[in-house]
A and B are shown apart, each in its own frame.
Chain A
Amino acid sequence: MTSIRGRVLAGAIATAGMVLAASGCAVYVLLRASLLGEFDAGLQLQARSLAAMVEAHVDGGRVRYHPEIPEDWQGMAYVLRGADGGIIVRSAPAVAAGLDPGATVGVVGTLRLPNGAPARFATWIFTAAAEADDAVPGAPAPTIAVTTARAADGIELALSRLRWVLASVTAVACVVAGVVMGWILTRALAPLDQLAERIASLDDRSLGTRLPLPEQRELAPVISRLNALLAGLDQAFAKEKSFNAAIAHELRTPLAGLLTTIEVCRSRERAPEEYREALASCQAMAGELRAMIERLLLLAKLDAGLVAISPRAVAVPELLADCWAPQAGAAAARGLAAHWSHGHAGAVVTDRECLRMVIANLLDNAVSHAEAPGTVHIATCDQAGALVIEVRNAAATLPPSAVGRIFDRFWRGDAARAATGRHCGLGLSLCHDLVAALGGTIAATSVDRWFTVTVRLPGLSATKVAA
């Protein structure tokens, strides 16, 4: 695992090191050039001074020079050479230092003395002024090269010290930069450390916690997103908890009924009729449990995307009639009649079984909860290429908050719960998930004592199919 602090620190130290090294190099080069320039200028000045002391005499075509320079002038090492390369004069220090005129090629340069010491030289080439009486008209003026040299170990020592100083300064500056950057980073990243600690302290019991927005602008979007995630998780956990509690309740109540019926029945000897009655009651309760478990399993499958959808042309009016048939008896018993209105007589390409479950649940819901006596209105039409199925019945108007939760699992119109078993609050939720699996939408309204559920399904076909 890499450390942001470590990487930033290493990067900062490397950058500081490179900048300092480059600066040091530049300073070194400039100082060296300046020192050597001044040194060489001194040598050249001396060479020119020497040149000023040289006279040329032409005697019978030969040029003679009269250097009036003492061989140990100013203790300098110098060499004067004539145009033919011959040495005119060579000072005693030059001889002592072993100054080789052949090694002094160029205007300025370095050379190594016989003793190994570094030295620098400068050469001045000039035309010696000839005596006027001896001058041969038209003859070229003789040229003389004056080379002066001096040991440069002082400069080399100074430059060596300069290199060490610059290298030491660079190293120390890197260390100091590292320490300072480390301190700055520690302070700058402290909010991240605090955030990490707070996040580490979160668990499933503290999902209601919201992290305070930090002063650091860079962290604000992270915290905002984190808080949004926490809110989402909190909501999901609460929903899951509520769902589990609802499942527990819905399963426990029929189970309690089943067990109590059996225990009471077994508490004494009874007539066969009483046993038959108890068994019938147990069978009914077991049936309710089975239906609920099947619905829960179907919901779980829908959640996991495991319900296979096999689209084919489905004749909707016929399917509606098929689904109404099992409800007709209960509807008649409650004084409810069905009113049909088919604005679309064609087919829809969808999964027949899924659509059948949706319609069966909607009609069962309407027949169970419609105000009786009354009418359950069942209508179909096409809207923009989609099939619309509408089931409408009279019922107490629900508040908007209740309508918004109508497709929640285990939600029932009565906040204090209506009943368990068949109407345990899974039917509309199942419809919602099934319609979604079919690629459609479902909506509910409760206005002026009319409860309406509208299903929209894609895949409308103009072809009428046989039921």
Chain B
Amino acid sequence: MRILVVEDYQPLRAALAKGLREAGYAVDETGDGAEGLWYATGNPYDLIVLDLMLPGLDGLTVLDRLRAAGCASHVLVLTARDGVEDRVEGLDHGADDYLVKPFAFPELLARVRALVRRGYQAKSPVIHVGDLEIDLVARRVARRGHEVALTAREFAILEFLALRTGQVVTRTELWDHLYEFGSDGGSNVLDVYVGYLRRKLEGEGEAKLIHTRRGQGYVFAEQG
């Protein structure tokens, strides 16, 4: 999942980006409102963490312009303004959630997970596909009750595929949602990771879960 962090206080932005990356998210970051708007309108972020007091363009204006441009990314407003009017104003401008500084980072992560799930209409943090169980909070995967060890990248690919179970996911979509802005990677990087996933999830005698649609992408489903 890919997240944009727009926060002008560099040490906080750096800590947020580091924490979110370690939680398995691809993170783009900026400290400028206008630049944040540029990032957000040009990339399909699953979530935008947005401060309200920003140089260049204030957070509420960024929100207004994002919604006016039809951006469907969820927005978590992160600000030091804690008044009821401030929260109402933020939500009324199109924010999906509001978190007041200072906050507990685990709470921010929980809200991030909830908002990301909401983007894919998944209410439960545990996804079941056939005999495969994916716990999005604990970031654990088990098939037939046996835990499957995945790397962060492999889990990110599986999470995105699982949240879109039954739908065709193109390589571009995978790339856009899993890699940060400016990431280098060959065209076959994703295929390599999908290959790893298949080897770990689909052992001998086990049903295939990741199906390739030639010329289109992948479909994650119990039955291809």
> How far is it, in angstroms, between the C-alpha of A255 and the C-alpha of B80 when the chains are bound?
10
Given contacts A248-B80, A252-B102, A263-B19, contact A414 B9 (CB under 8 A): no
A255-B102, A263-B106, A418-B55 in contact; A281/B33 too (CB < 8 A)? Answer: no
Interface centre among A252, A253, A256, A421 (most CB of B within 10 A): A256
Minimum CB–CB distance for B151 against chain A, Å = 15
19 contacts between A and B (CB under 8 A): A248-B80, A249-B53, A252-B80, A253-B9, A253-B12, A253-B101, A254-B11, A254-B12, A257-B9, A258-B11, A259-B104, A260-B103, A260-B108, A261-B11, A263-B19, A264-B105, A414-B56, A416-B58, A419-B9
Q: A43-75 CB contact bits vs B (8 Å, 1 = yes)?
A: 000000000000000000000000000000000
* A245→B81 contact, CB < 8 A: yes
Q: Which B residues lie at the A interface, using CB under 8 A? A: 8-12, 14-16, 18-19, 22, 31, 33, 53-59, 61, 79-83, 100-106, 108
Residues of B within 8 A of A263 (CB): 19, 104-106
Give chain B nearest CB distance to A268 CB in angstroms.
7
- The answer for the CA separation of A285 and B58 in the assembled complex, in Å, is 23
Bitwise interface map of A from 258 to 281 toward B, beta carbon under 8 Å scored 1, else 0: 111101100110000000000001
In the bound assembly, the distance between CA atoms of A253 and B9 in angstroms comes to 7
State the CA gap A245–B79 with chains docked (Å).
12
Are A259 and B102 CB-contacts (below 8 A) given A264-B18, A416-B55?
yes
Whether A417 sits at the interface, judged by CB under 8 Å, is yes
**B15 contacts across to A, CB distance below 8 A:** 257, 260-261, 264, 281
Kindly list the 3 A-B residue pairs having the minimum CB-CB distance in the complex, ordered from nearest: A257-B12, A416-B58, A264-B19
User: Which bucket holds chain A's interface residue count?
Assistant: 20 to 34
How far does the alpha carbon of A256 sit from the alpha carbon of B19 in the complex, in Å? 13
**A254 contacts B19, CB within 8 Å?**
no
| In the assembled complex, A415 has its CB within 8 A of some CB on chain B | yes
Query: In the complex, which of the residues B11, B57, B81, B101 has the most CB atoms of chain A within 10 Å of its own CB atom?
Result: B11
User: What CA separation (Å) do A257 and B15 show in the bound complex?
Assistant: 7
A104 at the interface (CB under 8 A from B): no
Q: Are B105 and A420 in contact (CB under 8 A)?
A: no
Kindly count the residue-residue contacts between A and B in the assembled complex, taking CB atoms under 8 Å apart. Answer: 95
* Minimum Cβ distance to chain A for residue B192 (Å): 26
What is the minimal beta-carbon distance from A391 to any residue of chain B, in angstroms?
23
In the complex the two chains form, is B55's CB within 8 Å of A255's CB? Answer: no
Nearest B residue to A420, CB-CB: B9
Chain A residues 229-256 with CB under 8 Å of chain B are: 245, 248-250, 252-256
Which residues of B lie under 8 Å from residue A245 when comparing CB positions? 81, 83
* Cβ contacts A114-158/B at 8 Å (1 or 0 each): 000000000000000000000000000000000000000000000
CB distance from B134 to the nearest CB of A (A): 21
- Cα of A285 to Cα of B101 in the assembled complex, Å: 15
A462 proximal to B (CB < 8 A): no
CB proximity of A253 to chain B, nearest CB, Å:
5
Chain B CB within 8 A of A284 CB: yes
Given the complex of chains A and B, what is the CA–CA distance between A415 and B59 in angstroms? 12
Task: Please name all residues of chain A whose beta carbon is closer than 8 Å to the beta carbon of B14 when the two chains form the complex.
Answer: 261, 281
In Å, the complex CA distance between A259 and B9 comes to 13
Is A416 touching B33 in the complex (CB atoms < 8 A)? yes
Roughly how many angstroms separate A252 CA and B9 CA in the complex, as a whole number? 11
- Bound together, the chains give a CA A417 to CA B33 distance in angstroms of 10
* Interchain CA distance A256-B103 in the complex, whole Å: 6
**A contact residues around B19 at 8 Å (CB):** 260, 263-264, 267
Q: Mask for A383-418, Cβ within 8 A of B = 1, else 0?
A: 000000000000000000000000000000011111
- Judge whether A254 and B9 touch: CB under 8 Å: yes
Q: How far is the CB of A99 from chain B (nearest CB, A)?
A: 106
Contact B18 A253 (CB under 8 A): no
A66 to chain B, nearest CB (A): 123
Chain A min CB distance to B199 (Å): 27
What's the least CB distance linking B21 to chain A, in Å? 10
How long is the Cα–Cα vector from A250 to B81 in the complex, in angstroms?
A: 10
